[in-house]
Amino acid sequence: MQPERDAKDRQLDEHRVPLDDLNMTTDQGTRVDDTDNSLKAGTRGPTLMEDFHFREKITRFDHERIPERVVHARGSGAYGVFELYEPLGEYTSAAFLNDTSVKTPTFVRFSTVAGFRGSADTVRDVRGFATKFYTTQGNFDLVGNNFPVFFIQDGIKFPDFVHAVKPEPHNEIPQAQSAHDTFWDFVQLQPESLHMVMWLMSDRAIPRSYRMMQGFGVHTFRLVNAQGQGTFVKWHWRPKLGTYSLVWDEVLRVQGNDPDFNRRDLWEAIERGAYPEYELCVQLVPESREHDFDFDLLDATKIIPEEQVPLRPIGKMTLIRNPQNFHAETEQVAFHTANLVPGIDFTNDPLLQARNFSYLDTQLLRLGGPNFPQIPINRPIAPVRNDQRDGFHQHLIHESRTSYAPNSISGGCPAAMDGYRHYQEKVEGSKIRKRSPSFEDHYSQATLFWNSMADWEKRHIVAAFLFELGHVERKHIKEAMVVHCGKIHPDLGAAVAQGLGLPAPGGGQVHSNASPALSMTGQPRSVATRKIAILMADGTDAAAVTAFRQALEGQGAICEIVAPHEGEVGGLPVDRQLSAANSVIYDAVVATDGGALAASARAVFFVLEAFRHGKAVGAVGSGRQLLEAARLPNDTGVIVGDDIASAFAEAVAGHRFYDRDVSGVPA
Ligand code: HDD
Q: What pLDDT is recorded for position 509?
A: 86
Q: Which fold would CATH assign to domain 75-158+203-378?
A: Catalase HpII,  Chain A, domain 1 (2.40.180)
Q: Is 79 annotated as a binding residue?
A: no
Counting from 1 in the atom list of ligand 1, the atom nearest the Cα of 357 is: 32
* φ, ψ of residue 136 in degrees (nearest 5): -70, -15
Alpha carbon distance 518, 187 (integer Å):
22
Give the pLDDT band of residue 548 (cuts 50, 70, 90).
very high
* φ, ψ of residue 31 in degrees (nearest 5): -65, 140
Q: What pLDDT is recorded for position 310?
A: 98
Residue 355 Cα, ligand 1 centroid: separation in angstroms? 7
Q: What pLDDT is recorded for position 43?
A: 96
Q: What pLDDT is recorded for position 21?
A: 79
Alpha carbon distance 587, 649 (integer Å):
11
Tell me which of 113, 143, 161, 364 to substitute to probe ligand 1's pocket, judged by most ligand atoms within 8 Å of the beta carbon. Answer: 143
Q: What pLDDT is recorded for position 22?
A: 84
Answer whether 140 contacts ligand 1 (Cβ < 6 A). Answer: no
Alpha carbon distance 116, 578 (integer Å):
31
Answer whether 143 contacts ligand 1 (Cβ < 6 A). Answer: yes
Q: Is 158 annotated as a binding residue?
A: yes
Residue whose Cα lies nearest atom 30 of ligand 1: it is: 155
Answer whether 355 contacts ligand 1 (Cβ < 6 A). Answer: yes
Alpha carbon distance 586, 454 (integer Å):
25
Counting from 1 in the atom list of ligand 1, the atom nearest the Cα of 77 is: 15
Counting from 1 in the atom list of ligand 1, the atom nearest the Cα of 361 is: 44
Answer whether 150 contacts ligand 1 (Cβ < 6 A). Answer: yes
Strand partners, 84: 315
Is residue 145 flagged as an active site residue? Answer: yes
Cβ atoms 593, 626 nearer than 8 A: yes
Distances 270 to 118, 194, 489, 570 between C-alpha atoms, Å: 22, 36, 42, 31
Answer whether 127 contacts ligand 1 (Cβ < 6 A). Answer: no
Residue 617 Cα, ligand 1 centroid: separation in angstroms? 40
Strand partners, 31: 25
Q: What is the mean pLDDT of residues 443-463?
A: 98
Q: At the top level of CATH, which class does the domain 450-510 belong to?
A: mainly alpha
Distances 498 to 185, 199, 462, 491, 504 between C-alpha atoms, Å: 20, 21, 10, 11, 7
Answer whether 144 contacts ligand 1 (Cβ < 6 A). Answer: yes
Q: Is 357 annotated as a binding residue?
A: no
Q: What pLDDT is recorded for position 642?
A: 86
Answer whether 350 contacts ligand 1 (Cβ < 6 A). Answer: no
Q: Domain spans of the chain?
A: 7-63, 75-158+203-378, 450-510, 531-654
Cβ atoms 280, 316 nearer than 8 A: yes
Residue 383 Cα, ligand 1 centroid: separation in angstroms? 27
pLDDT for residue 634 is more than 90: no
Q: Is 359 annotated as a binding residue?
A: yes
Q: What pLDDT is recorded for position 541?
A: 85
pLDDT for residue 19 is more than 90: no
Q: What pLDDT is recorded for position 540?
A: 87
| Mean pLDDT rounded to a whole number for the chain | 96
- Homologous superfamily (CATH) for 531-654: Class I glutamine amidotransferase (GATase) domain (3.40.50.880)
pLDDT in tens, 576-624: 999 999 999 999 999 998 778 999 999 999 999 999 999 999 999 889 9
pLDDT in tens, 318-369: 999 999 999 999 999 999 999 999 999 999 999 999 999 999 999 999 999 9
Q: Is 366 annotated as a binding residue?
A: yes
pLDDT in tens, 525-541: 999 999 999 999 998 88
The architecture in CATH of the region 7-63 reads Irregular (4.10)
* φ, ψ of residue 304 in degrees (nearest 5): -100, 110
Counting from 1 in the atom list of ligand 1, the atom nearest the Cα of 130 is: 11
What 8-state DSSP symbol labels residue 440?
-
Is residue 262 flagged as an active site residue? Answer: no
Spatial neighbors of 92 by CB under 8 A, at least 6 apart, are: 98, 223, 224, 225, 231, 343, 344
Q: What pLDDT is recorded for position 594?
A: 72
Q: What pLDDT is recorded for position 593?
A: 81
Q: What pLDDT is recorded for position 596?
A: 87
Q: What pLDDT is recorded for position 350?
A: 98
pLDDT for residue 181 is more than 80: yes
ipTM: 0.99
Q: What pLDDT is recorded for position 445?
A: 98
How would you class 395 by CB atoms within 10 Å of its CB: exposed for 0-12, middle for 13-18, buried for 19 or more? exposed
pLDDT for residue 508 is more than 80: no
Shortest CA distance to 221 belongs to which of 83, 355, 69?
355
Q: What pLDDT is recorded for position 221?
A: 98
Cβ atoms 114, 165 nearer than 8 A: yes
